[in-house]
């Protein structure tokens, strides 16, 4: 339940959630030349996947970390969103989370300890819902508060979901609607309604555990969660890693209520432009600014995007809906070389 706060946490944030990520172009430049190899490293940085996977006997260990500045003013909600977002990378690999460590940067003088306890309680709420243990962590003093987790999980090495696993002929399923970047940006500017913000928080605190389970049951091999690089960014990275193309239907992509109108009114996060600059000429047929801004909107704790055979599509959508998700079939995978084109071009 939201509480009345003496400060607005988002006033201490230069960005919004995963919209604070380094631009993909900068990240690619910084990581150039870092390509570790080891026979037990099953998934490393070369494919831009959501987490690392290490072979440990007959199982795989999934390791990931994520943290960001306040995306909402309610401290407990922010904590839950950040933890849900961090564990999402384990689900995106088809794994099960086991253990986590808190990562905290905190302005004690301005924000005090009680708000920090609320943030940590939100993280504990997410951990309890997901069934993993928070066993400690690390904290520093910082004028700009930040919170997240490092998460360890397990995965069956023979049933991995990866960026490089998308197959020609797959239908693309998105498990959550887009729009949290636009709505939280609008809320920071006083443009979003309480109902719109509550809907965005509900989406961001919904675990991707069911989506991961459904993807695996449907025989998926390719998946990624949609976070700071937006749908266009994460999909482009996935098809590049898979050696395929994607055909995306903008009209089929689900949006949170009010997203389109707030985007038209100018509530566009700064990360949107960085995402579009990175995909560059790898996208075709997305000709109007509104469509591009919606599809490149930086998501925080967004849905899982995965590919299933057309025969498995209806069953996957029904299973997600039964679990309380708002999924949609948004396109298809074809043979190609890493491009994304609009189905309406």
**Residue in 81, 236, 56, 23 with CA at minimum distance from that of residue 155:** 56
Q: Which two tokens stand for residue 285?
A: 């047929």
Rounded-to-integer distance, Cα 296 and Cα 181, Å: 10
Residue 83 is given by DSSP the state H
Name the pTM for this structure: 0.93
CATH topology of domain 163-342: Phosphoribosyl-aminoimidazole Synthetase; Chain A, domain 2 (3.90.650)
User: Span 53-77, mean pLDDT?
Assistant: 96
Q: Which two tokens stand for residue 112?
A: 């005090």
Task: Answer yes or no: CATH 3.30.1330.10 is held by domain 9-159.
Answer: yes
Flag whether pLDDT at 206 surpasses 70: yes
**Quick one: pLDDT at residue 130?**
98
User: Span 320-334, mean pLDDT?
Assistant: 97
Please list the residue range(s) of the chain that carry CATH number 3.30.1330.10.
9-159
Rounded-to-integer distance, Cα 173 and Cα 313, Å: 8
Catalogue the active-site residues: 18
- Digit-coded pLDDT (tens) for 261-302: 999 999 999 999 999 999 999 999 998 999 999 999 999 999
**Quick one: pLDDT at residue 1?**
40
- Asked if residues 200 and 246 have their Cβ atoms less than 8 Å apart, the reply is no
φ/ψ of 63, rounded to 5, equals -130, 130
């Amino acid at each position: 339940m939201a509480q009345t706060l003496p400060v607005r946490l988002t006033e201490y944030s230069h960005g919004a959630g995963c919209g604070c990520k380094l631009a993909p172009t900068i990240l690619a430049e910084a990581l150039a030349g870092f390509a570790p190899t080891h026979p037990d490293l099953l998934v490393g940085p070369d494919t831009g996947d959501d987490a690392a996977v290490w072979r440990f006997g007959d199982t795989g260990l999934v390791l990931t970390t994520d943290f960001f500045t306040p995306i909402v003013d309610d401290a407990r909600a922010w904590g839950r969103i950040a933890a849900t977002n961090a564990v999402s990378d384990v689900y995106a690999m088809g794994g099960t989370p086991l253990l986590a460590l808190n990562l905290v940067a905190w302005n004690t003088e301005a924000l005090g300890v009680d708000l920090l306890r609320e943030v940590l309680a939100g993280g504990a709420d997410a951990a309890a819902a997901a069934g993993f243990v928070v066993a400690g962590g690390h904290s520093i003093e910082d004028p700009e508060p930040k919170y997240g987790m490092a998460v360890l999980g397990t995965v069956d090495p023979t049933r991995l979901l990866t960026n490089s696993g998308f197959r020609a002929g797959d239908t693309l399923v998105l498990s959550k609607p887009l729009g949290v970047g636009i709505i939280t940006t609008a809320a920071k500017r006083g443009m979003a309604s309480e109902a719109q913000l509550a809907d965005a928080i509900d989406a961001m605190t919904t675990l991707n555990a069911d989506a991961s389970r459904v993807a695996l049951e449907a025989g998926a091999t390719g998946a990624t969660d949609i976070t700071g690089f937006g749908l266009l960014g994460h999909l482009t990275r996935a098809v590049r890693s898979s050696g395929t193309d994607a055909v995306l239907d903008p009209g089929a992509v689900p949006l949170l209520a009010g997203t389109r109108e707030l985007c038209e009114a100018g509530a566009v996060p700064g990360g949107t432009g960085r995402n579009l600059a990175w995909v560059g000429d790898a996208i075709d047929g997305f000709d109007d600014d509104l469509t591009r801004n919606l599809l490149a909107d930086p998501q925080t704790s967004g849905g899982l995007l995965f590919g299933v055979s057309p025969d498995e599509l209806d069953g996957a959508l029904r299973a997600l809906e039964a679990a309380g998700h708002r999924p949609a079939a948004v396109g298809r995978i074809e043979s190609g070389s890493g491009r994304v084109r609009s189905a309406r071009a």
